[in-house]
Structure 1
Amino acid sequence: MELIAGSGSFLLGTIVPFLFVLTVVVFFHELGHFAVARWCGVGVRTFSVGFGPELLGATDKHGTRWKLSAIPLGGYVKFAGDENAASVPDNAELAKMSESEREEAFHLKPLWQRAAVVFAGPLANFILAVVIFAGVFVTLGESITVPRVDRVQEASAAEAAGVESGDIVVAIDGEPIEAFADVQRIVSFSAERPLVFTLDRAGTIFDLTIVPERREVDDGFGNMQRVGIIGVVHEANENDVTVIEYGPLEATGRAVEQTGIVITQSLTYIGRILVGQESADQLSGPVRVAKISGDVATLGFLALLQLTAVISVSIGMVNLFPIPMLDGGHLAFYAIEAVRRKPLSERSQEIGFRIGLAMVMFLMVFATWNDIANLMR
C-alpha cells in the first residue's frame, strides 16, 4: 500500500506538473508554426504534441491530423511535401505533386514565407512568456524590496571589498538596481567575474569592485546549484516592501523586460561555458525539469505558470540555435539560400540534417546525464 501511495504521490506531484508545463510550451510553439503556415497557404498534414504512437487524435476539415502522441518530449507540425517531422523535403513526393498540390507544398513557397513559418514557432514561445508574465503582473503586481545590505557575512567577498551594513546598492556594472532581487539575480550569474557595485552609504555615492565566489547552494527544494555569492544579507520587513500595481499596458512592457532578462541570463551562461568560465554540468534535461516542475507546483499554480514562461523562453531560444533539425538550422539554410539565390544541394542538406540529429541527440544525452548526476549528488 505504501508503494502504491508513493507512486500516486510521484505521479501527481511531479509527472502531472511536468506534463502541464511541457504540453503548454510545445503546443504554443507548434501553434506558431501552424498559424503562419495556414496564413501562407501551406498544407498542414499533422499537428502533434509528442512523438511516437498516437494516443488521441482527430482530423479537421482541412485534412490536418491533430494528435497527442506517447512520448511527451516535444512535438511537430508536418507540412505538405515534408518527408518527416524535422521538415526534411520529400523530393520524390514533390516531383509527383499535381499543380494544385504544389501550391500548398511548404518547400515550394517563397523563401520569406518559409522563413516566417519556421521563425513563428520560437516567436510563439516568446509571446507566450510575455502573456504569462503580464498576467501575473496584472493579477499580483510586483513586490519591490529595498536593495539594502543589513548584514555582511564574515570572510565573504563583500566584507573583503569593504561593504558595510546599511549600504544601499544603487547600480551594478552601470545597471540600475531597484530591488534586492536584482542584486541576487546579477550576482548569482556572475561567479568569479568582477562586478562594479555603486553604493549609497548615508548619502555618499561610491564604487566598489566585488568578485562573487562560486558556491554550491540548495535552492530550497534539495536541488544543488553552483552560483555566485558575495555574502550580503537583507533582513526584510514589511516597511521595506513596495507593491507596484500595473495596468495591462504597463504589465506588458514589464513582461517584455522580464522575458529579455531570461534570454540575457541564458545566453550569458552559454557564452561563459563556451569560453571556459562556467561548467556545463548545470545544463538541465527532462529529468531535472520534471523535478523542478514538481517542486515549483508545491508553491501554487501561479508559480507553475511562471516556470512555464521561463521554460517557454528557453525552448524558443534553443530552437533558434543554428543547428540543423532545429528551427535555427532551417533559418541558417534559408540564409545561405538567400545569398546563393538557390537552395543547398540535396546531399548537403542531408549531411547537415544528419550532423544536426547527432548534435541534438548528444545534447539530450549529456543533459540527461547531468540530471541524473545532480539527483544522485
Structure 2
Amino acid sequence: MLLTVLAFIVTLGVLVTVHEWGHYWVARRCGVKVLTFSIGFGKPLLRWRRGDENWQLAAIPLGGYVRMLDEREAPIPPQDAGLAFNRQHPFKKILIVVAGPLANLILAGLLYAGLYVHGVDAIRPVAGQVLPASIAERAGFRPGDLLVAVADRPVASWDEAFVALLDAAGDDAPVAVRVRDAQGRESERTLPLAELGRSVYEPRLLIRLGFSPYPLTTTIERVEPGSAADAAGLRAGDVIVTLDQRALAQWGQLQSVLQEGAAPLTLGVLRDGTVRALTVVPKAVGVGGRTIGRLGLEPAVDKQAWQAAQVRLQYAPLGAVSAAVEKIAIQTRLTLSMFGRMIVGKASLDQVSGPLTIATYAGESARLGLSTYIEYLALISLSLAVLNLLPVPLLDGGHLLYHVVELLTGRPVSPQVEAIGQRIGLTLLFALMALALFNDIHRLFLG
C-alpha cells in the first residue's frame, strides 16, 4: 500500500510538474509575467518566492496551474500592460497553451527512447496456448505459432502484437497476421476482430481472441486448499491426461469446458505411474453476467519453453529515437480512436480510468521494477498530452481553440462565449470524473 501511494505521488508529481513547466517556460520566453506556479490545487501546503513569482505545493495533487498576469482577472499597472497574457499576439498564446502537452509528449519520447537504449525485457509472440473453439483456433492458429507481422507491421513481442492488433481494429476489417509455425513454415492467417464487438479494445484482447503466451502443461502446480479440486482429491504433481474420457492435449481444453459452466467433470489423473479417474464438481462463479466453473487449480508452466520465449529488445540511440517516435504515433492514434469509438458507442465506457486505477497500476508497475514503472510513466505522460489537447473548454485544447479563432478572426472570443464554454467544459469534466470514479470502484472492488 505504501509503495502504491508513493508511486502514485511520484507519477502525478512528475507529470504535473513537467506539464506546468512547459507552460511556464514558454510564457517567460514570450514576455508574459508569471504570478504563480502551483503543483496541485486548493490550499497551499508549501510556498516560496522566486523573484516576483509565487511557487507552491497545494493540497489536492490532481493537477496544477500557471497563473499569468491578465487584465481579465484584475486591474494591472499601465507599465505592466505589455506583460499581460491577454495582450499577447494569438500566436504567442497558442505557443503557451500547446507547451504543456508538448512537454508531456517530449517526456514520453525521452523515457521510451531511454528504455530502448537500455533494453526492454519482452516475451516473443509465440502462442503458448490457443484456446479451443476460440477465434484464434478457428482462424487456424496453433500452439507454438510465432506471430511475425500484424497487418504488415513486424512484431517482436506480445506487447507489440497487442498494440498492432488494437491499431488495426479501428478499420473493422479482418486483420492479416503472418505466422511461422513450429516447423518454420510461414503462412498468413486472418483474425476477424469485428466478432469481438466493443470488447476489441479491452486489455484482455489477446485472451478474448484465444491466445495465451504462457506454455502451460497439464501438470498441476498447486491446488487451492478448500477448493473443488481439493475436495475431489487432486494434488500438486498430478498430470491430467483425460477430460470426460477424452485425451487432454493442452490445458486450454479444460479452461474452455469450465467457461461453459459448472457441470461435474471426470478427470483421468496420472499419479505415481497409475491413471485414476476422479470426479470433480466445479464451483459455480458468476462472471460478466454468466456462470462459469472454477476448480482452484494452477497448472505448471513449461519452464524450458517459457525461457525460450524471453527476449530483450535493445536499440542503438538513433534506432531508439525512431522506435520511440513510432510508439508515440501509434499510441496517440489509438487514444484518439478509442475516444471516437466511445462517443459513437463502438467501444465500452468501461475503459475510462480514474485516479484509483492510475494509483493501482503505478504501484503494480513499481513492484515489477524500474523499467516497467518508467514505461508506465511514459504511457501516462503521453495520454495526458493527448487528452489535454482535446477541444474541450477548461482543457488546454479548449483554450487552443479560442486562440485559433482569435488568430483567424483578428479578435478574441467574447467573454459570454467563454463563460458558456466553461459551463459546458465543467459539465463534461464532472461527468467524465464521475464515470472514471465509478469504473475505478467497480474494477477494484466489485470486478
TM-score range, shorter chain: 0.7 to 0.9
Amino acid aligned to 1:119: V
1:290 and 2:359 equivalent? yes
| Residue of structure 1 equivalent to 2:301 | none
Amino acid aligned to 2:40: G
| Residue of structure 1 equivalent to 2:65 | 76
Amino acid aligned to 1:183: A
Structure 1 residues 226 and 136 mapped into 2: Cα distance closer, same or farther (>3 Å)? closer
Amino acid aligned to 2:117: V
Cα contact 1:49–1:68 (8 A) shared by 2: yes
Mapping of residues 1-377 of structure 1, within 5 Å: 10=1, 12-61=2-51, 63-81=52-70, 89-90=72-73, 93=74, 96-139=75-118, 141-143=119-121, 145-187=123-165, 190=169, 194-201=174-181, 202-211=184-193, 214=196, 227-228=205-206, 229-234=208-213, 235=215, 236-377=305-446
Q: d(CA) in 1 for partners of 2:82 and 2:60?
A: 33
Post-superposition offset of 1:208: 2.3
Range that drifts further, 169-178 or 106-115: 169-178
Q: d(CA) in 1 for partners of 2:66 and 2:363?
A: 28
| TM-score, scaled to structure 2 | 0.72
**SS of equivalent to 1:270:** helix
Q: d(CA) in 2 for partners of 1:241 and 1:291?
A: 26
Post-superposition offset of 1:356: 1.1
Structure 1 residues 132 and 333 mapped into 2: Cα distance closer, same or farther (>3 Å)? same
Bigger radius of gyration among the two? 2
For each residue in 1:4-42, what CA deviation from the matched residue of structure 2 results, as whole angstroms up to 9, or x when unmatched?
xxxxxx3x1222111110010000000000000001010
Structure 1 residues 298 and 166 mapped into 2: Cα distance closer, same or farther (>3 Å)? closer
Higher strand share: 2
Post-superposition offset of 1:294: 1.7
Amino acid aligned to 1:290: A
Structure 1 residues 122 and 16 mapped into 2: Cα distance closer, same or farther (>3 Å)? same
Cα contact 1:187–1:212 (8 A) shared by 2: no
Cα contact 2:23–2:96 (8 A) shared by 1: yes
Post-superposition offset of 1:240: 4.6
Post-superposition offset of 1:125: 0.3
Q: d(CA) in 2 for partners of 1:321 and 1:42?
A: 25
Post-superposition offset of 1:43: 0.4
Q: d(CA) in 2 for partners of 1:150 and 1:285?
A: 33
Gaps of 5+ in 2: 216-304
Structure 1 residues 188 and 70 mapped into 2: Cα distance closer, same or farther (>3 Å)? same
Q: d(CA) in 1 for partners of 2:141 and 2:372?
A: 33
Structure 1 residues 237 and 328 mapped into 2: Cα distance closer, same or farther (>3 Å)? same
Structure 1 residues 70 and 138 mapped into 2: Cα distance closer, same or farther (>3 Å)? same
Cα contact 1:29–1:125 (8 A) shared by 2: yes
Gaps of 5+ in 1: 1-9, 83-88, 218-223
Post-superposition offset of 1:261: 2.9
Structure 1 residues 307 and 150 mapped into 2: Cα distance closer, same or farther (>3 Å)? closer
Range that drifts further, 226-235 or 151-160: 226-235
**SS of equivalent to 1:103:** helix
Q: d(CA) in 2 for partners of 1:193 and 1:20?
A: 41
For each residue in 1:255-289, what CA deviation from the matched residue of structure 2 results, as whole angstroms up to 9, or x when unmatched?
22222232222222222212222110120011111
Q: d(CA) in 2 for partners of 1:60 and 1:277?
A: 50
Post-superposition offset of 1:143: 4.2
Range that drifts further, 124-133 or 196-205: 196-205
Identical residues among aligned pairs (%): 35
Post-superposition offset of 1:114: 0.5
**SS of equivalent to 2:176:** strand
For each residue in 1:88-136, what CA deviation from the matched residue of structure 2 results, as whole angstroms up to 9, or x when unmatched?
x42xx3xx43342111101111111100000000000011111112222
**SS of equivalent to 1:121:** helix
Amino acid aligned to 1:178: A
Q: How many residue pairs end up in the alignment?
A: 349
Q: d(CA) in 2 for partners of 1:339 and 1:188?
A: 37
Cα contact 1:321–1:329 (8 A) shared by 2: yes
Q: d(CA) in 2 for partners of 1:73 and 1:34?
A: 18
For each residue in 1:162-218, what CA deviation from the matched residue of structure 2 results, as whole angstroms up to 9, or x when unmatched?
22344432322232323333223344674986322233454443342433765999x
Q: d(CA) in 1 for partners of 2:173 and 2:361?
A: 27
| TM-score, scaled to structure 1 | 0.84
Q: d(CA) in 2 for partners of 1:368 and 1:309?
A: 23
